[in-house]
Amino acid sequence: MLFPDYRPRRLRKNENLRRMIRETSLSVDNLIEPLFVVPGKGVRKPITSMPGVFQLSVDELIREAREVQAAGIPAVILFGIPDKKDDRASGAYASEGIIQRAVRALKDQVPDLIVIGDVCLCEYMSHGHCGLIQDGDVDNDATLELLARTALAQAKAGIDMVAPSDMMDGRVAEIRQALDENGYENLPILAYSAKYASAFYGPFREAAESAPQFGDRRSYQMDPPNAREAIREVSLDVEEGADIIMVKPALAYLDVICRVREEFDLPVAAYNVSGEYAMVKAAAQQGWLDEERVMMEILTAIRRAGADLILTYFARPAAAKLRKG
User: If you average pLDDT over residues 50-59, what whole number do you get?
Assistant: 97
Distance of CA 180 to the CA centre of its chain: 24
CA dihedral 90, 162, 45, 289 (to 10 degrees): 140
What per-residue confidence (pLDDT) applies to 121?
93
Q: What is the mean pLDDT of residues 180-208?
A: 93
Strands (E), 199-256: 244-248
- Measured distance CA(41)–CA(180) in Å, rounded: 35
Q: State the catalytic residues.
A: 195, 248
The C-alpha atoms of residue 258 and residue 252 are separated, in whole angstroms, by: 12
**All domains of the chain, ordered by start, with CATH?**
26-324 (3.20.20.70)
CA gap 195, 270 in Å, rounded: 10
Residues with Cβ within 8 Å of 40's Cβ and at least 6 positions away in sequence, in order, are 57
Residue 325 pLDDT > 80, yes or no?
no
The pLDDT tens digits for 92-146 are: 999 999 999 999 999 999 999 999 999 999 999 988 788 898 888 889 999 999 9
Region of residue 218 (left: phi > 0; alpha: psi -120 to 50; beta: else): alpha
Q: Are 130 and 169 in contact (CB under 8 A)?
A: no
**What is the pTM for the complete model shown?**
0.95
Q: Dihedral (C-alpha) 314, 186, 168, 206: value to the nearest 10 degrees?
A: 30
pLDDT band for position 215 (50/70/90)?
Answer: low
Kindly tell me if the per-residue pLDDT of 214 is higher than 70: no
* Bridge partners, 5 (sequence order): none
pLDDT in tens, 242-288: 999 999 999 999 999 999 999 999 999 999 999 999 999 999 999 99
Tens-digit pLDDT profile for residues 297-311: 999 999 999 999 999
